[in-house]
Amino acid sequence: MRKSFCSLISFLLFSLLACGATPAHWYVAPTGNDANDGSKRKPLKTIANALQRVNPGDTVFLREGSYGEFVVPTRSGKPGKMITLKSYPGETARIDGSGLYIKGWGNALVQLNSIDYMQFENLHICHAHDSENNTDPEGIYISGTSGNITFRGCKVYDIKNDCPLVDAKGDWRSAHAILVLGNNDNTPIRNLLIEKCEIFEIHSGTSEAFTLAGNVVDFTIQDNEVHDVENIGIIIAGGDNLNPHGDISVNYARNGIVRRNKVYRCTHEKSQDYWSQSVSNGGAIGIYLCGNGNTIVEQNEVFECDRGIGLCSESYKLQTKDCIVRNNFVYNNFRTGIYMGAYLGFDGLSTKSCYVVNNTLFNNNLKGGQLDGTNNYLKVNDRDNSSEGEIRLSELCEENVIANNIIYALSDRDIFIRKYTTSGKNNFIGGNIYFSPNKKNHKWMWDGKEYTDFSAWQAVSGDKTSVFDVDPLLKSTQLQQPDLHLKSSSPAIGTGLIFQGYVRGMFDIDGDKRCDNHRINIGADQ
């Protein structure tokens, strides 16, 4: 009788947990069995089975090992009751696509379609491959009306499309580590947090490693490491290419922040099998704002990419507008440090009302120009005309501010700012420090013309408040591993232009208070 009574009590307690009376813990292991009860002693075998049992507030622990299945949640959490999927403490669970068939688009290892209040922690999401034309291997795909989604401490890697250029006809090699596509006009993807994750070894072709596009609002991408990818690292974009029928008034990512990330080796050099055959070789951007709005890019470290940070547009419908790039270290990028404007000769929309303030740029002209005169409407040849410059302005830049930046050029090209054409208007440039230790090669280029005299540059650009040939006294200018913080005697200390708080931000590159006693430094270091 006592044994039966105890069994009954145990059954009732387990039933209450399963019904969501209190948060439950579920366990899954490669050695488990889906006929088990999902306890720690009797784990389930598949993630899919666990996700069919969860209720708001529940946690699914994945034990050490590989899980060869698509993870497709069908149940959402609630405010204050997130559903959590995570590796068991001290162990590594891998959502592994090695044995899965991936075809077309959206067939990601983790698929969240209109899911709310769910978080993923300390998982490896990896090994999704395909080599077929118009197929997009993806680690994570978030779509529909999903909201309140968190990925924390995850690693996403070895996501590759290996379709050769000749088969892809130059445009269909595609893959994403993370693709967030807001494709519902009425309800945006919202409250997205991606933090402390690592993304690497991504063969994305003409796509990007990490993409937010379409109707997406209120996102935070912070403290991540994105590296060794063959094209763009992180892009915040309008959705007119990925969501071509979306309502133009909401079809763009907005009201977000990209901060404290380390982004490096995002370059076409990573995949010469593909990009060496392409006339676009050399155009990968570390962090790219493209046809989006109201986004802050701050406190990031971007290096060894083809281009560091971009504020551009490839759209006839959507501008890159009202964005702020501030307090970043941008160094040792191959073509340019910061890129603004549309493609040369492009007659669509471009970059408007954006701020590029308090950044430190160092040695970003490592290679000659990308353009060879054949892949742009204006037939500009960068290889014959030096290179893109530490800061590049292409077409249609309007009402932007470039101020309080340290622009330290080192290569034999030493172009501080290059504005390619006469298009664009009402841009403000001022309060910068231009410095090159090589007195021989420095120059600016404005409206397609070269200037080596600083006063002549000031006259054509309106740059009245910057200084030239003043060493900002960086802590180390060692080329491979520079330290871009300021020495205590730096002339950049306390000499910057004062902007409103929403423009300059609260903190510098290290998290120190940005404005000290009504004084602000030039560059990213306060």
Which DSSP state fits 372?
A: B
Q: What's the confidence (pLDDT) of residue 171?
A: 59
Q: What's the confidence (pLDDT) of residue 5?
A: 44
Distance CA 39, CA 33 (A): 11
Q: What's the confidence (pLDDT) of residue 386?
A: 65
Pair type for strands 474-476 and 483-486 = antiparallel
Q: Compute, in degrees rounded to 10, the torsion defined by CA atoms 292, 363, 504, 351.
A: -30
Distance CA 266, CA 287 (A): 9
| Region class of 485: left (phi > 0), else alpha (psi between -120 and 50), else beta | beta
Contact in structure between 488 and 498 (CB atoms under 8 Å) = no
Give a yes or no: residue 150 inside a domain: no
Q: What is the per-residue pLDDT across 367-402, written as a single tens digit (0 to 9) for each?
A: 766 666 665 666 777 665 568 899 999 999 999 999
* Rounded to 5°, angle at Cα 175 from 84 and 59: 5
Contact in structure between 307 and 268 (CB atoms under 8 Å) = no
Q: What is the DSSP string of 118-144?
A: EEEESEEEEEEEE-STTB--EEEEEET
- Reported in sequence order, the residue ranges of 293-359 that DSSP labels E, i.e. its strands, are 293-298, 301-303, 307-312, 320-321, 324-326, 329-331, 336-340, 351-352, 355-357
Give a yes or no: residue 53 inside a domain: yes
Distance CA 303, CA 498 (A): 28
Pair type for strands 123-130 and 155-161 = parallel
Spell out the alpha helix ranges (H) of 100-191: 165-168
For residue 243, the SS3 value is coil
Q: What is the pTM of this model?
A: 0.93
Distance CA 139, CA 38 (A): 26
Give a yes or no: residue 469 inside a domain: yes
Q: What's the confidence (pLDDT) of residue 131?
A: 86
Give a yes or no: residue 363 inside a domain: yes
Q: What's the confidence (pLDDT) of residue 148?
A: 98
Give a yes or no: residue 520 inside a domain: yes
Q: What's the confidence (pLDDT) of residue 76?
A: 98
Q: Which letter, b or e, does each residue of 337-359 get, where b requires 16 or more Cβ atoms within 10 Å of its Cβ? A: bbbbbbbbebebbbbbebbbbbb
Contact in structure between 69 and 56 (CB atoms under 8 Å) = no
Distance CA 275, CA 206 (A): 9
Q: What's the confidence (pLDDT) of residue 475?
A: 98
> Residue 46 is part of a domain; what is its CATH number?
3.30.1910
Distance CA 514, CA 526 (A): 6
Of 96, 121, 148, the residue at which a domain comes to its end is 96
336 burial via Cβ count (<10 Å: 0-12, 13-18, 19+): buried
Distance CA 138, CA 158 (A): 10
Name residues of the chain where pLDDT drops below 50: 1-20
Q: What's the confidence (pLDDT) of residue 368?
A: 66
Distance CA 239, CA 197 (A): 24
Residue among 124, 6, 146 nearest 76 (CA): 146
Of 96, 119, 149, the residue at which a domain comes to its end is 96
Distance CA 212, CA 254 (A): 10
User: Which residue in this structure is represented by tokens 């180390």?
Assistant: 476
Using CA atoms, how far residue 252 sits from 430, 493, 498, in Å, is: 30, 38, 31
Rounded to the nearest 5°, which phi and psi values hold at 393?
-115, 120
498: Cβ–Cβ under 8 A, 6 or more apart, which residues? 504, 515, 518, 520
Contact in structure between 306 and 267 (CB atoms under 8 Å) = yes
Q: How many beta carbons lie within 10 A of that of residue 401, not counting itself?
A: 19
Distance CA 477, CA 360 (A): 12
User: How many domains does the chain fold into?
Assistant: 2
Give residue 472's domain range.
349-526
Structure token digits, residue 203: 């063969």
Give a yes or no: residue 191 inside a domain: no
Q: How many beta carbons lie within 10 A of that of residue 479, not counting itself?
A: 12
Residue type, 335: R
Rounded to the nearest 5°, which phi and psi values hold at 425?
-160, 160
Pair type for strands 25-28 and 428-430 = unpaired
Give a yes or no: residue 406 inside a domain: yes
Q: How many beta carbons lie within 10 A of that of residue 92, not counting itself?
A: 15
Contact in structure between 137 and 158 (CB atoms under 8 Å) = no
Of 69, 96, 123, the residue at which a domain comes to its end is 96
Give a yes or no: residue 67 inside a domain: yes
Distance CA 112, CA 149 (A): 9
